[in-house]
Structure 1
């Protein structure tokens, strides 16, 4: 049994299995997520503080199309199976893309389902997440990386019903600089004056009142942060209206919302945004006025 504070993990994603009374915690679990890809692990717990594992959820075969940068697995139950959306850097052109894996059970093992990433082959794309529209048709919402376009974008593309491929061209939903709370990304290698903006980790949520919200991450100077956007039309294609201030700004992000076993809405993110110090934290949130408010102190 491990305490959550002892688990190095980025991009946490929780599946709640009410019938079992269990939580399944996925995420970027390689010790060095910037290097060789080992796979994805899953942790299992009855609360959000103590976890059994790690258990291997995905390990690539030698013929797998990626060998570095295994990032941000998200798991969804869909048509009787479990599908993992995860980002990998391709061997053939070294570009990032989000692919789909499949398993008969939540914990895996997951195996390749799509023929490589389903995001555009000539883009650096990451952090794909699943959205079902009002007709039950699947979409992937993902980030077109700032390294390609300077002002990072969140895009959406329709998927085939079996989740194996994209249909048509992606639609740009918004660019990072459109949100009032973001600033240009700054690092040892990137100057703020270069005006490069990051988009990261989108996650879709439909409120009890029917509003379509998106969590997504970016930067405030050198600090990782997460904000909210709302679709004015209620549809994935927007237009998207951004909250004035971030939901969390203390060097944490790439989050998702879930309902705990005791029916409390929770936000999980990783913080700090530094390897190997990153850990999952769980914060109580509530729906108010068609959006989310953070109940825990920042």
Structure 2
């Protein structure tokens, strides 16, 4: 299989040095995997060009007492303590949440608010099966609509989950973090605010002059942490950028891949927003090193009917640059 023929949303790559194999995780698609149910599947490759048919490594329906079986969004797998941990987002539309009180941007949207959050599951193998560590609840507080949780390990060794707090609750979406127990079995303490979507100074700059608009709602999506050569946290993240006005004055847009860097060198920030890396309705990217040590980024484009796109990257100090698009691997488009 080649990437142009692979339905791929929220891609996440683990480059396993021991087997010289790339593991590409995404939400289960029964039409591709042949396995029904919500969960996670993984493609494997030795060269980023040809991929084996996916195998399913996690299914919500096989987890006893799980608080939600819908979603299965944005899976990613991290090695920790001699095991592998799957982070993925679930939701249950039959478990409503109250609409929160008005915040700085006014009243949250009067759309149905329901339980949505990131869970953690564990396995001895990159091929699963993964078992949820706490089936009773998501890892962040369950009154928060959150998604796309990812692992960050501070220089002290403290593990954190970084996640996006949904714009449905906040209007101006935020990035937040919560400490994890050493075995990743539960959250410890209260969430820590990192930044909000509208902190990106370039949001809205592509809206034609003279077109009235109000910046929020603003989306936070797809955090993924990397370290600069000096050790400061660098976060890839995505948002929805408004950029054109229709003949009736409406504004459209698309997803955009961007990043931010912690000026303090600590996860708590403050965070400095940088210019977008890729536009063209692209997003939910992550960084990994290929086996030749080339820094790579994979993301999906477009948001609907998405496919994986690969880029060679370079990190100069705390500045992340796109070197070239690998159309020979991802098929162009």
Q: Is this a same-fold pair by TM over 0.5?
A: yes
- What is the aligned partner in structure 2 of residue 165 from structure 1? 186
1:210 to 231, 235, 239: 231
After superposition, give the CA deviation of every residue in 1:124-180 in whole Å (9 maximum; x if it has no partner): 100000011121011110011000010000001111111111111101101000111
Checking the alignment, whether the CA contact within 8 Å between 2:15 and 2:289 is kept in structure 1 is yes
The 2-side partners of 1:194 and 1:176 are apart by: 10
- Which whole-Å deviations, capped at 9, do the CAs of 1:75-107 have from their partners, x for residues lacking one? 000000000111000354431100100010011
Instruction: From 291, 298, 320, give the equivalent of 1:292.
Output: 320
Given that 1:18 and 1:261 are in contact with CA atoms closer than 8 Å, whether structure 2 keeps it comes out as: yes
User: Within 5 A, what are the aligned runs for 1:38-57?
Assistant: 38-57=38-57
Other-structure match for 1:126: 147
Q: Return closer, same or farther for 1:57/1:296 CA change in 2, 3 Å cut-off.
A: same
Calculate the aligned-residue CA RMSD, in Å.
2.1
2:157 aligns to what?
Answer: 136
CA positional deviation for 1:64: 2.8
Larger radius of gyration: 2
Partner of 1:229: 260
Q: Which residue of 1 aligns with 2:86?
A: 84
Label 1:257 to 1:194 Cα distance change in 2 as closer, same or farther (>3 A).
closer
Q: Write the distance in 1 (CA, Å) between the matches of 2:74 and 2:213.
A: 26
The aligned counterpart of 1:266 is 296
SS at match of 1:50: coil
User: How far 1:8 sits from its partner (Å)?
Assistant: 0.4
The alpha-carbon deviation at position 211 of structure 1 amounts to: 2.6
1:37–1:68 CA contact under 8 A, matched in 2: no
Q: How far 1:37 moved relative to its partner?
A: 5.4
Does structure 1 retain, via aligned residues, the 8 Å contact 2:26–2:75?
A: yes
Give the match's secondary structure for 1:70. Answer: strand
Instruction: Single out whichever of 85-94 and 234-243 deviates more from structure 2.
Output: 85-94
Which of 269, 273, 276 is the equivalent residue of 1:238?
Answer: 269
Q: How many corresponding residue pairs?
A: 286
Q: Is the 8 A contact 2:228 2:317 kept in 1?
A: no
In the alignment, the residues of structure 2 paired with residue 200 and residue 23 of structure 1 have an alpha-carbon distance, to the nearest angstrom, of 24
Partner of 1:70: 72
Q: What is residue 23 of structure 1 aligned with on the other side?
A: 22
Q: Which 4+ stretches in 1 moved above 6 angstroms? A: none
**Which residues of structure 2 form unaligned runs of 5+?**
97-113, 243-252, 327-333
1:220 and 2:248 are equivalent in the alignment: no
Deviation at 1:67, TM superposition (A): 2.5
1:194 positional shift? 7.1
What is the deviation of 1:297? 5.1
CA–CA distance in 2 between the matches of 1:76 and 1:297? 26
In 2: Cα distance, 1:71 partner to 1:297 partner: 26
User: Per-residue deviation at 1:182?
Assistant: 2.5
- 2 CA distance for matches of 1:242 and 1:269? 19
Out of 169-178 and 86-95, give the one that drifted further: 86-95
TM-score, normalization: structure 2?
0.81
What secondary structure does 1:177 align onto?
helix
